Each structure stands twice: as C-alpha cells, then as structure tokens.
Amino acid sequence: MKIALIIPPLENIVRYLKQWHLEPADYGAFPPLGVLYIATFLKMKMPGLEVKVIDCPSQKIGYKKLERFLKEFKPDIIGISVFTECLVDALKVARLAKSLDKVPHVCAGGAHLFIYPRQTMEFKDIDSIVIGEGENTFVELVRQVRENRAIGGVSGLYTKADIGMKEFVKSDEPDINTLPFFDTDLIDRRSYYSTVGRQNNMITLLSSRGC
C-alpha cells in the first residue's frame, strides 16, 4: 500500500498579511515536522507501507511535476497539509489527485481544519479530514482503507457523512514520549535553511505540542 503526504505548492497564497511584505526567502524554509511525525509513526505501526513525504515548496515541485510523480507512484491514500493561507493550493492538489487513473482516498489535515472543518469537508475532492494530532488517527484511517472498511468511528476523523454534526472534536492527543523521532531520510535536509544559518542541510525540533 502506498501513502503520499503532501505539502502543496505555494502558487496561490491568500496574502491577507500584506503589511508584513514577507516572502519565503525572508524567513527560511523549515522541515514539515507535523507531516514527518505522522509518516514516521505510520511506518513504525504498519511496516511494509511505502510512505513518501512531498514538500512541494522546499523541493521546488510545481503542479506538473507533482502530477508526474503521482501518476508514477500511484498512491492509495493522499494526505494534504492545509493552512488557511494555502487552502486554494491544497484544494488544487485534491482535485489533481481525483483526476488520476487510480483515484486515491484524499484526507486533509492541519491547522485550517481546527477552524473550518465543515467547510473543508464540503469540497467535493476531500474524502476525509483529521482534526488535531494526526499520528494515531491517520494510522486508523489507513487501516480502514486497506481493509476496505467504512471510514469513521475514530477520534478526530470525519467524512462527508459527518457534515451535519454540530461539533467537531479533535483527536485524542498521543503521549509524545512514546512517539519515535521523525525519520530524516523522508526528506532532503539540503532543501531547508534559516536566514540565521550558514548553510543548507538543516533540521528543526519540537520540544512540545501546541502553538
């Protein structure tokens, strides 16, 4: 079974903070730790899966290159990291996924889902969403898809059948002391840099969860 976790290209950013006048080069490029933790946890819990992390902005992957990769890789599940300012690009990735000959299950997660879960689920190319920490929830989603079971019944996981819910509850938080250190082989560290660093080949760390 093949899983692709994607950080979308940044080609249609909603620039609502114009007063900042910041471009990515102004603050650096940092590894997508949330996605890396999910990918590493997935590999630990379900050995034998083929898991790819596609960080489009840092790897300079546009839509044509992403489409070529997806056609070749043929993922069974695509997870998309969604921030509000990148929503348009996240939806373009979902639409691209649904245009493939082998149509994958498309799951959206990330900070945007805390605020707009119902609205995100209403987009036709999104099959499911994860609200909150994704490690345990995404593993259960992958198991349900692999075993061809109905999707749902998992903390923080929702599908279109749940659109009418009055309240969307986030997933149960994992014990971070039990999580494996993220697998740096899933990314090219040379793609990341900080404006205060001397060279590329950088890694960052999380010492806790939350903002």
Rounded to two decimals, what is the model's pTM?
0.90
Q: Measuring CA to CA, how many Å separate 28 from each of 36, 77, 185, 204?
A: 18, 30, 20, 12
Which one has a higher pLDDT value, 209 or 87? Answer: 87
Bridge partners of 185, per DSSP, are none
DSSP-H helix ranges across 32-181:
33-45, 56-59, 63-73, 87-98, 112-115, 117-121, 135-146
Q: What angle do CA 53, 94, 59 make, to 5 degrees?
A: 35
110 three-state secondary structure: coil
CB atoms inside a 10 Å sphere around CB 39: 25
pLDDT of residue 177: 81
Chain segment 132-153, per-residue pLDDT in tens? 999 999 999 999 999 999 999 9
pLDDT of residue 198: 67
pLDDT confidence bin for 206, thresholds 50/70/90: confident
